[in-house]
Amino acid sequence: MKSTTHEAYLESVYRVILHIEQHYKETLTLEELARVAGFSKYHFHRIFKAIAGENVSDYIRRVRLVNATTKLRIVDRITDVALESGYETNAAFSKAFKKHFGMTPRAFAQEIKKRKGSTMVTPKIVTLTPTEMLLLQLH
């Protein structure tokens, strides 16, 4: 693949990622995201997976769940967090959350609230010795 083509694909996928980050609460269709990228939905799906390393639906799910974790810190009703995160039901949200994080949203919220009074660890600045690295870039 030409480097200009690769750069154009990267730019298109980055545009879609930004769109997903800004609109994750909404229903996002493959057709809509392909339009944002400027490709057919079939071509876009292949390009997105090749660049992002996961398919579009998995990426959207992950964005929604990660954003939900910050809401679980302050919102008491999990149903509200589920709906605000783009899930139609609490059950669908709870199932996806547990699959991704290995615990239910309620257990996560309780754990976070237990730690709320914890103190921060004092940072320690460490100077590392320079190390030579080999980088292989595959095209």
Does some domain include residue 135?
A: no
Enumerate residues 6+ apart whose C-beta is below 8 A from 88.
none
Q: Is the pLDDT of residue 80 over 70?
A: yes
Q: How many domains does the chain have?
A: 2
Question: Domain check: are 38 and 1 in the same one?
Answer: yes
Q: Which domain holds residue 68?
A: 58-116
User: Is the same domain home to 31 and 48?
Assistant: yes
DSSP notation for the chain: --HHHHHHHHHHHHHHHHHHHHHTTS---HHHHHHHHTS-HHHHHHHHHHHHSS-HHHHHHHHHHHHHHHHHTT-S-HHHHHHHTT-SSHHHHHHHHHHHHSS-HHHHHHHHHHHTTPPPPPP---PPPP---------
The answer on 34 and 19 residing in a single domain is: yes
134 within some domain? no
Tell which wins on pLDDT, 86 or 95.
Answer: 95
Whether 76 shows a pLDDT value over 90: the answer reads no
Residue range 108-124, pLDDT digits in tens: 988 887 776 655 567 88
Full-model pTM: 0.74
Residues 42 and 79 both lie in one domain: no
The pair of structure tokens assigned to 68 is 């939900």
Q: What percentage of the chain has pLDDT greater than the value 90?
A: 59
For residue 34, being part of any structural domain is answered with: yes
Q: Tens of pLDDT along 38-60?
A: 999 899 999 999 999 999 999 99
Encode pLDDT of 22-34 as tens digits.
999 899 999 999 9
Read off the pLDDT of each residue in 54-79 and give the average, rounded to a whole number.
Answer: 91
